Amino acid sequence: MFEGTSGAILLAILDYLYIFVVLGGLAILMVIVGKIVKKYETKKTNKETKVITPVFNTAEIKEEEKNDDRLIAIITAAISSYLEKPKSRFKVVNIKKYRTSSMTPWTTMGKQELMLRNNN
């Protein structure tokens, strides 16, 4: 049936066609399964959850902002050793406390994931 060069070419074409049909069927199957899973997840995540953010007392933060002479001396010594210059070469004008975000990195990532799910 498949003899000679023309038979080999015909057999190769049929094999490639068979492979594309099987791969196409698998792709369609994956799309269908993805849609079923997506519908199941939307039914599952429709429940509303209430997020409570912690309340911080601002009075405590303001009390910590007071700079004392010992802290200023330590910061000045650290800067002078880092810059490798004597203390008389620079002057510390202002010291402000670095404020970190009130949200932890885990909370931020969780909120980003929730927003991405709602957009899709």
pLDDT tens digit sequence for 83-112? 877 666 777 777 777 777 677 888 888 888
Residue 39 and residue 53 in one domain:
no
CB atoms within 10 A of CB 114: 13
Per-residue model confidence (pLDDT) at position 46 = 57
Question: What domain range includes position 15?
Answer: 1-47
Residues in the chain: 120
pLDDT-derived band at 15 (thresholds 50, 70, 90) equals very high
Return the DSSP state at 88.
Answer: G
pLDDT digits (tens, 9 = 90+) for 29-66: 999 999 998 888 776 665 555 666 666 555 555 555 56
Q: Where are the beta strands (DSSP E) in the chain?
A: none
Q: How many domains does the chain have?
A: 2
Residue 96 and residue 65 in one domain:
yes
**Sign of the dihedral through C-alpha 106, 107, 109, 113:** positive
Q: Which two tokens stand for residue 114?
A: 């929730």
Question: Which amino acid makes up residue 100?
Answer: T
Residue 20 and residue 56 in one domain:
no
Is 2 contained in some domain?
yes
For residues 6 and 9, give the distance between their C-alpha atoms in angstroms, rounded to a whole number. 5
Residue 65 and residue 30 in one domain:
no
Across 12-26, 28-42, 64-78, which has the greatest mean pLDDT?
12-26
Per-residue model confidence (pLDDT) at position 18 = 97
The residue among 104, 117, 108 whose CA lies nearest residue 46 is 117
Is 103 contained in some domain?
yes
Per-residue model confidence (pLDDT) at position 9 = 94
